[in-house]
Amino acid sequence: MRSISLVFRRIAKSLLFVSALSFGVNANAQDAAAPAGDAAAGAAIFKQKCTSCHAISRQVVGPALKGINEKYDEAWLIKWIKNSQALVAAGDPAAVKVFNEYNKTVMTPFPELSDDDVRNILAYVAKEESAPAAAPGAAGATGEEGGTAAKGDEVSNFMLGGLILVVIIALLVILVLNRVVKTLDRIILQKQGLLVEGEDQEESAAVRFRRLAKNKKFVFFVIILLVALFGSLGWKAMWNTGVHQGYQPEQPIKYSHQLHAGTLKIDCQYCHFNAYKSKNAAIPSLNVCMNCHSYVTASDKYNGETSPEIAKIYKALDYDPATKQYGDNPKPIQWVRIHNLPDLAYFNHSQHVTVAGIACQECHGPIQTMPEVYQYSPLTMKWCINCHRTREVNSKGNAYYDKVLAVHDQLKKGEKVTPAVLGGLECGKCHY
Amino acid sequence: MKQVLLKYCTTKGNMLVMNKLRILGVAFVAVAASAVISSCGGKQTPGLEFARNMYDPIAPNYDTPNKNFANGQTAQLPPANTTPIGYDKHEEYPNTIEGYLAASAGMKNPLVRDISNLEQGKTLYLHMCGHCHGPQGKGDGEIVKQEKFPPPPSYSTGNSSRGGAMKDLTDGKIFHTITYGLNLMGPHRSQLSPDERWKIVMYVHELQKIQ
């Protein structure tokens, strides 16, 4: 048995380059046929059963698997993988040692694996450990096409620019025509011999400016231009005072909603888990990040190092990824709040998310395409009111609206609606 | 005379061209400058504001800095040995294998199994668990499919790393696992109130039955 596996391992090692090249094809074809003892079949089982606790070259929940083929013999490994607790209970010294080393964490028994399955896994481990360190797996999430956030504002800017351009061109045309008229005048005068040639050739800039300032048409157009420019700028500025639409401050961590919500399709409410039950949607605390990022370090994109942005989480939590221990000096990440509703207005997320059933994107825009979040909606009173005027109340299965609708039915039927029906007998109405 | 006229005309022409260029240049610079100013300035700052003090709340928000506390935050942990209403009671079942088994023996779902609770459980499950465990609990959620995270065992066919089949997990075991996490799964008690966890437990029992 052992010699067979050795042969397989040797073959696996010698065919390393070929297999590394054809790995992608093998991985796709592995469902169809699984020849005994080969690494590709092992890869399929490994990904399905082992990766939740093991990685080849780093400790996850259980130990790194690099070098297990050298450390233990195959018969022992087969017994261990199929039922580690039986080995521990039987008092096998190697088994007890590993069990104690990993804080008595029990390894899931896999009685459904055959001996050949286990050999396939071991062949895969042997192949992977001798492969060059960072074999980048599936090409990273490059994200969906960065959505073109069409902002209605840009249209009006474009139109404004166009108008200014037209005015400038008109001014230029007038100036040129003025010149032409003058030149022709001169030529006529000269022909009549009234003008001595070269009379005012050398006029200084000051003189020219003074002449220009006396030109009523020119002055008129300059004034019109300035009035239009400052008028439109001022108008825009006044309308946009206190409107933070498009506000996109730099955040302490370059967290990408495009990656997490767009590519990975993690539900908004996994992290913003207060949106459906509270006034605030909540900026998630770092323990929510750590639910995934205790494992995900994106090291394949950073030459085996933890991504610098994920390292910021570890630093803030005083967490040591090597020992997986938290220190006692955590500091909160100071995110910059983007949506600042004035204190004079009350807004409640749960009312809109749970009761009305409005999708996050209706107010926050195409969040799943934003690498960096900006304020999509103006959050002006007009914006709120326009929606409240047009949207239908979602009264289905909601006891609160049942009562309101019942009162309206009573009114329609011409029945008497007393203050008591509207809660006029609540103690707090008088004794508040 | 002719020569002089020609000379005059050409110099005049040159001047016209020069003026045109200058005016065009000035216009271009003006348009470019206004474009640069209007596009850059806006993103990093919230823009013009009037009466900022009407925006800032007098009472601090949970996420604003606060000088009154030693650690400078408004959000504080509850005092020791207190339990906010609707949160976890004092830890009866610790995060150990003994606590896990005790939870299995001692805990029962306090909620009534009905359509409303199951539907809420489903919604919560899809929001909080589905991206790893998959919409049907088969361990094939979206981020598992994309190989960004290792697959968890299937509720219906997999085995638990703490012994037994996943489809035989009891109320208390599932509740304990959601609360404290296990292996690569993180603890979710800060995100889910006990009631919400029980709704998810109820729905997971349905997923265990899928063949």
What's the complex ipTM?
A: 0.75
Out of A179, A237, A287, name the one closest to residue B190 (CB).
Answer: A287
The packing angle between helices A115-130 and A2-14, to 10°, is 40
Of A47, A108, A141, the CB nearest to B161: A108
Of chain A, the end-to-end C-alpha distance in Å amounts to: 85
More confident residue, A187 or B39: A187
> Do B47 and A332 count as a contact with CB atoms less than 8 A apart?
no
Nearest to A340 among B43, B55, B130 (CB): B55
SS3 A54: coil
| Distance of alpha carbon A237 from alpha carbon A371, whole angstroms | 28
Single out the residue of A130, A124, A138, A141 nearest to residue A54, CA to CA: A124
Q: CB distance A110–B190 less than 8 Å? A: no
Reading the block at residue B21, the tokens are 């260029």
Distance CA A154, CA A152 (A): 6
For residue B18, pLDDT beyond 50: yes
pLDDT tens by residue, B47-106: 888 888 877 888 888 878 888 888 888 888 888 888 877 777 756 788 888 888 888 888
Question: Could you give the CA distance from residue A59 to residue A101 in angstroms, rounded to a whole number?
Answer: 13
CATH topology for the B97-208 domain: Cytochrome Bc1 Complex; Chain D, domain 2 (1.10.760)
Q: Number of CB pairs < 8 Å for A and B? A: 161
- Tens-level pLDDT at each residue, chain A (432 residues): 445 555 555 554 554 444 444 444 444 444 333 334 777 777 777 777 777 677 777 777 777 777 777 778 777 778 778 777 777 777 777 777 777 777 677 777 777 778 888 888 788 777 777 765 444 443 333 333 333 444 445 556 778 888 899 999 999 999 999 999 988 988 888 888 776 655 555 667 888 888 888 888 888 999 999 999 999 999 988 888 888 888 888 899 989 999 899 888 899 999 999 898 888 888 888 889 998 888 888 877 877 778 888 889 988 888 888 778 888 888 888 888 888 888 888 899 998 998 888 899 999 999 999 999 999 998 888 999 999 999 888 887 788 888 888 888 888 998 888 888 777 888 887 887
Residues of chain B with Cβ-Cβ distance to A85 below 8 Å are 163
A296 to chain B, any CB pair closer than 8 A? The answer is: yes
Residue A17's pLDDT is what? 43
For chain A positions 166-225, those within 8 Å of chain B (CB to CB) are 168, 171-172, 175-176, 179, 183, 187, 190, 197-198, 201
Domain boundaries, chain B: 2-41, 97-208
pLDDT for B124 equals 92
Q: Please state the pTM of the whole predicted model.
A: 0.63
The two three-digit tokens of residue A383, written as one number = 């914006």
Which residues does chain B have within 8 Å of residue A283's beta carbon, measured at their own beta carbons? 63
DSSP string, A362-400: HHH-SGGG-SS----S---HHHHHHHHHHSPP--TT-HH
| Residues in chain B within 8 Å Cβ distance of A295 | 149-150, 184
Residue B79 DSSP label: P
Q: What DSSP element (H or E) covers B30?
A: helix B2-44
Note the pLDDT of residue A364: 93
Confidence (pLDDT) at A21 = 43
Rounded to whole angstroms, the Cα distance separating B186 from A270 reads: 13
User: For A264, which of B48, B148, B160 is closest by C-beta distance?
Assistant: B148
- Residue B185: strand pairing partners: B182
Give CA–CA dist A311/A306, Å, rounded.
6
